[in-house]
Every structure is written in structure tokens, then in C-alpha cells.
Amino acid sequence: MSLGTGIRLADLIAAICFVLALKGLTSPKTARYGNLLGAGGMTLAIAITFATNGLTHFLLIAAAMVIGAVVAVPAARLVKMTAMPQMVAAFNGVGGGAAALIALATFLRAPAGSLAIYQVIEVLLGVIIGSISFSGSCIAFAKLQELMTGRPITYPGQQVWNGIVAVAIFGLGIALCATTANWLVAVVLALALVFGIAFVLPIGGADVPVLISLLNSFTGLAVAASGFVLHSVVLVVAGTLVGASGTLLTHMMSRAMGRSLPNILFSAFGSVITAAGGAEGDTTRSVRSASAEDVAILLSYANKVIVVPGYGLAVAQAQHTIRELADLLEARGIEVIYAIHPVAGRMPGHMNVLLAEANVPYEQLKEMDEANPEFQSADVALVVGANDVVNPAAKNDPSSPIYGMPILAVDEARNIVFMKRSMRPGFAGIDNELLFDPKTTLLFGDAKDSLTKVVAAVKAM
Amino acid sequence: MNGGDILSLITVFVLAAFVGFEVIAKVPSTLHTPLMSGTNAIHGVVLVGAMLVLGTASGATQMTLGFVAVVLATLNVVGGFVVTDRMLEMFKVKRPPKPPADSAGAVASSTEGGAK
């Protein structure tokens, strides 16, 4: 068996590992095993690449890999669970960047005029999609890390400008097929970077996770394109797998938010004004706030409590405290369940990860469809750091930007307790009518402080 | 590369796209985040391409581009798998603590297997 055949066989095994890894990731039981299998296939694919005929600069390659690993491992190990989405965005962005650089380097290497048109197209796809994914992920990271505002950024003629940039990229791409001038490809790369930024700016913070999923599938396609450039089957297979499954996942996520993908990507234009108008009118209305002791009494004499955890809970690292409270209440014979909105936290499934971290029993976590009928019979709905996912405006107010998003039917519970840091609107930047409802009690403060006080008060009773 | 090669790559592309769609048809929303993170790690295979570019590079520009590509791709692949593993670590099945010593472990797991 020749070396070339060996490499091809190893690539095939790696490709099979990737498919099985994806398959494994679709079920909680096999997910971890699936991920390890993916890592195994990856190790094989990388190791066998060293045996490629004519490959040199081994020391440089090893040095670059060490640098990457030395940065990546601590970053991935130490990142807080709440900061996971932006971490994924960052790792996704650099992958897109690498794909773009590969296509660029291959193009620059070829003697002028030696590339067939389909080869130029392959390079262009790699450069364009990879660059968009890179700069888009950077902005998504900045939005989630709160380095910049999470609100949609809009300016007059935004769509027109984006359109012009897109047309320019397309036009220069065609020109490149004709002339293959080196400077043209640099301009295309720069324009694609600009487009990536411009395309992400108007997307609101709450929608960024869906965007990351979309950019993730973009990077997959960019990797597939660079696979075409390099004639590497394993790159084409893995990139395409991610491109296809990422597209489907993006669709599932946006469906969980009750919105279509075009709506998420392009709806910010105009919606900001409605939201701002609503917020202003409400500043004068009164709300009912209470002390931790009041909340403790309310909870202790309930028969059934439904906890609605949100991102605020995660930020305050209050997962363990909420579980302590739930345990205390259960010891008093009170039924406690957790109602998990599909996009609670900042990504679908994010909240499950966070609560699992605090050892909350899996069977107490109810998905939205299961939880909603339970609210009618609940004495208290305890909303901790969630806002948009319980906002009735999604049901009642067609002018609201979140109109149509499925929400948890918290308003059907007999009493509602909100734990909030302030009256500030949620991540989507919209006011919540429910806060002004007569059966709503507010407990202001950091979620962890508030919960700790409530726990102490329940213990004292 | 001749016309046959590009066609076989396109064949691979189309088939992989179908597999990608089919293989994740039913995912509980609980796993959406780990799945996104896991697919993110898999496109880290771009490292293979980056290695090929750097390993065959000549001249400062090529070397720089290749070197940066390898660093970025390594970030993607290593970070991707580690983050995903950390997320999934939390999904491990929690068994109630068993009072008897280790020897009970095998018995317990075999009864669980039977109950399925």
C-alpha cells in the first residue's frame, strides 16, 4: 500500500468518525462519546497529514500548533459557562479566518493565469465566506461580551450600503476570473470583511446565538471551499457536514424563537423605534416590590412553584442557590419544577447546561410545551433573571419585535415573583407588561443575593 | 486536476450535504448548544489544509499566511473540542451514591442495562 493510499484511507476513517460524532451529539446519552470520537478522527486526520509527500517546515508547523493550543486550552477550560456562546463565536471566527487564508495563499502561489475559472471560483468562495465568517464572528463576540451595545445598530440606507458592498464583491469576483490580478483578491477579501461586520451590526443581542449558528455553518462551507482548492476530500466532507447540519440547526433555533431566519437577520430596521417608544411611556407606572421575607412566605405556603430561570440567574452564578431553595421547598412538601424556555440563557439548551452544572435533577426540567399547561395550577411562578421569554407582548402586541415568539405562560399562575436587578428591559430591549400586573411581586437585586436572602428567610420559618 | 477529479469532489460534497442534513434530523433543544459547539470543532479540520499550505510554502508571504492559518486553525480545533467536552461533562448521568464498596458497581450497571 502506498503512502498516498494510506492517507486516503485515514481520511476516510476520519470522515466516518465525524459523521458518527454528529450522530452521537444528537442524544444526551451518546453526546460525550460522540465528541470524543470526533476528536479521535481529527487527531488521525492531523497526524496523517504530517506524512504527506513533499511536506516540509515541520518545525514551523509544530510551533504554530503549539502556540494555538497553548492559547486555546486555557481559554476553553477557564471560560465561565455563561460566556460559552461568545467562546464558540471566537473559535468559529478563527476557523473561518484560517479557511480564507488558505484560499488566499493558494491563489497567490499559482503563477498568473495558470488557474482555470472553476479554480478561481473555489478560491473566491473560500476567501469570501471565510472572511465574512471571521469578521461577523468578531462582532458577534463583541456583542455578547458586551464590548459593544447588544442593541441593533442601524443607520440610514443600511440595506442599500450592504447591497452595494455585496454587488461590488460579486463584480470584482467576476473581474478576478478574467484577469487573476493579485491586488483584486486583496480588495475582495477586504470587502468581504466589511460585509461581515455590516451584516451583523443590525442584529439584536437576543438573536446573536442564532447568528453564531449561521456563521458556524458559513465557516463549514468556507472549509469545504478550501477543501476544493486543495483537493482535500476530508476538508470537503467535514466542511460540508458542518455547513449542512449547521444550516438545519440554525433553522431549528430560529423556529424555537418563533421567528423565521430572514426575520432575525433583517427585521431590526424599524423595530427599534417601536421598542424605544414603549419604554418611555412606562417609566411613570408603579410596580409592587417586596422584601425577601414576603417572597419566602409566598413560596412557603404554596403547593406548587414553577421556577423560570433566565440569563440573569446564570450571570449571577445563582444556579446552586436556586437548587438549594428548591430543595428546601420540596422538603416542605411543595412541588417544584423548572420551566425551561428553548432560548433561556442565550442559546437553545444553554440553561439546561447551566442547571445540570448545579446538579438539578433532569426530570424536574420541563421544556416549554410540557411546562405551559402546568402554570394554571401553579401558586407561584418564580421568574429569576428572565424577561423576554415571559413577556406577554409576544402574544398580544403585533407591533412588538418579539411578537410571535412562543413564551412561557407565566401570566396564568396565581402569583408571579420577578427577581430582577432593575427595571431595565431584557436583552431584546423591550418593556414587559407583566411587571405592572397586580399579581406580580418584584424583588430587586442581584439574583444570587436575593435568592440567598429568600433561602435564609424560608429556613427561619 | 482534471475534470474527473472536480466531479468526484462535487459528488462527495453533495453526498456529505445530505448526510449532514439527515444525521441531525432530531435533536432535543437541550443539545442545540453542545451540537453547535461540536460542529464548530469539526470544521477545525481546516487545520489539515493550513498544514498543507505552510508545509509547502516558499517565500515570506506564503510562510506568514500559512503560519497564521495554522495558529488560527489550531485555536479552532483544540478550543472547539475542549469547550464541547466541558459542556457535555455536565450531562453525565448522575447515579445516586451507593453505600456498598466498588464491587457493587458492576452489579448496579448490569441491572440498569437490563431495565432498559
Please report which confidence band the pLDDT of residue B31 belongs to, taking 50, 70 and 90 as the band edges. confident
- Check: CB of residue B41 under 8 Å from CB of residue B80: yes
The alpha carbon dihedral of A284, A288, A291, A296 has a sign of negative
The answer to whether B7 contacts chain A (CB < 8 Å) is no
Do A224 and B13 count as a contact with CB atoms less than 8 A apart? yes
- Check: CB of residue A24 under 8 Å from CB of residue A41: no
Alpha-carbon distance of A96 to A93, in angstroms, equals 5
In this predicted structure, what is the pLDDT of residue A67? Answer: 97
Alpha-carbon distance of A25 to B96, in angstroms, equals 25
Which residue type occupies A367?
E
Best A8, A42, A357 member to test B by mutation, with max B CBs in 10 Å, is A42
Stretch (H or E) spanning A444:
strand A440-444
Alpha-carbon distance of A245 to A49, in angstroms, equals 26
At residue A403, does pLDDT exceed 90?
no
Alpha-carbon distance of A70 to A77, in angstroms, equals 11
Half-sphere exposure of A126 (CA within 13 A, CB side): 32
The closest of A45, A47, A58 to A8, measured between CA atoms, is: A45
To the nearest whole Å, the CA of B105 is away from the closest chain A CA by 19
Alpha-carbon distance of A390 to A127, in angstroms, equals 42
In this prediction the pTM is 0.77
Of A108, A217, A252, which has the smallest distance from its Cβ to B32's Cβ?
Answer: A252
Chain A residue numbers with beta carbons less than 8 Å from the beta carbon of B34 are: 25, 31, 35, 349, 353
Interface of B with A in 44-63 (CB under 8 A): 44-57, 61-63
Span A199-217, mean pLDDT? 87
- Check: CB of residue A214 under 8 Å from CB of residue A90: no
In this predicted structure, what is the pLDDT of residue A170? Answer: 94
- Find where cell 497567490 sits: A108
The answer to whether B98 contacts chain A (CB < 8 Å) is no
Do B55 and A75 count as a contact with CB atoms less than 8 A apart? no
Q: What is the ipTM of this complex?
A: 0.80
Please report which confidence band the pLDDT of residue B4 belongs to, taking 50, 70 and 90 as the band edges. low
To the nearest whole Å, the CA of B107 is away from the closest chain A CA by 20
In this predicted structure, what is the pLDDT of residue B92? Answer: 60
Chain A residue numbers with beta carbons less than 8 Å from the beta carbon of B16 are: 224, 236-237, 240-241, 244
To the nearest whole Å, the CA of A69 is away from the closest chain B CA by 6
- Check: CB of residue A120 under 8 Å from CB of residue A177: yes
pLDDT tens digits along A360-372: 887 788 888 888 8
Of A27, A71, A367, which has the smallest distance from its Cβ to B29's Cβ?
Answer: A367
The closest of A222, A188, A54, A221 to B54, measured between CA atoms, is: A54
Do B72 and A68 count as a contact with CB atoms less than 8 A apart? yes
Tally of CB atoms within 10 A around A461 = 12
Reduced to 3 states, what is the DSSP secondary structure of residue A129? helix
In this predicted structure, what is the pLDDT of residue A90? Answer: 95
Best B48, B62, B65 member to test A by mutation, with max A CBs in 10 Å, is B48
The answer to whether B89 contacts chain A (CB < 8 Å) is yes
Reduced to 3 states, what is the DSSP secondary structure of residue A457? helix
Which residue type occupies B22?
E
Query: Rounded mean pLDDT of chain A?
Result: 86
Span A119-143, mean pLDDT? 95
Q: Annotated catalytic, A388?
A: yes
CATH dotted code for A287-460: 3.40.50.1220
Of A69, A101, A243, which has the smallest distance from its Cβ to B20's Cβ?
Answer: A243
Alpha-carbon distance of A16 to A294, in angstroms, equals 58
Of B24, B53, B62, which has the smallest distance from its Cβ to A245's Cβ?
Answer: B24
Do B12 and A99 count as a contact with CB atoms less than 8 A apart? no
Chain A residue numbers with beta carbons less than 8 Å from the beta carbon of B113 are: none
Sort strands A335-340 and A415-420 into parallel, antiparallel or unpaired: unpaired
In this predicted structure, what is the pLDDT of residue B77? Answer: 96
Chain B residue numbers with beta carbons less than 8 Å from the beta carbon of A240 are: 12-13, 16-17, 20
Looking only at Cα atoms, what is the longest distance across chain B? 68
**Closest CA in chain A for residue B87:** A353
**Catalytic residue of the set A11, A207, A388, A431:** A388
Chain B residue numbers with beta carbons less than 8 Å from the beta carbon of A68 are: 70-75, 78
Do B47 and A98 count as a contact with CB atoms less than 8 A apart? yes
Span A413-428, mean pLDDT? 77
- In sequence order, the 6+-apart residues with CB closer than 8 A to the CB of A85 are A144, A208, A209, A212, A346, A347, A350, B33
In this predicted structure, what is the pLDDT of residue A207? Answer: 79
> DSSP class of residue A152?
P
Q: Which of A83-97, A99-113, A404-418 is least confident? A: A404-418
Give the start-to-end residue ranges of the domains of chain A: 1-68, 79-266, 287-460
Alpha-carbon distance of A447 to A318, in angstroms, equals 6
> DSSP class of residue B25?
S
Q: What are phi and psi of A218, to 5 degrees?
A: -60, -50
Do B20 and A22 count as a contact with CB atoms less than 8 A apart? yes
At residue A284, does pLDDT exceed 60?
no
Sheet holding A415-420, edge to edge: A365-367, A335-340, A304-309, A380-384, A415-420, A440-444
At residue B111, does pLDDT exceed 90?
no
- Check: CB of residue A194 under 8 Å from CB of residue A112: no
Please report which confidence band the pLDDT of residue B114 belongs to, taking 50, 70 and 90 as the band edges. very low
pLDDT tens digits along A19-73: 999 999 988 888 889 999 999 999 999 999 999 888 999 999 999 999 999 999 9
Chain A residue numbers with beta carbons less than 8 Å from the beta carbon of B18 are: 244
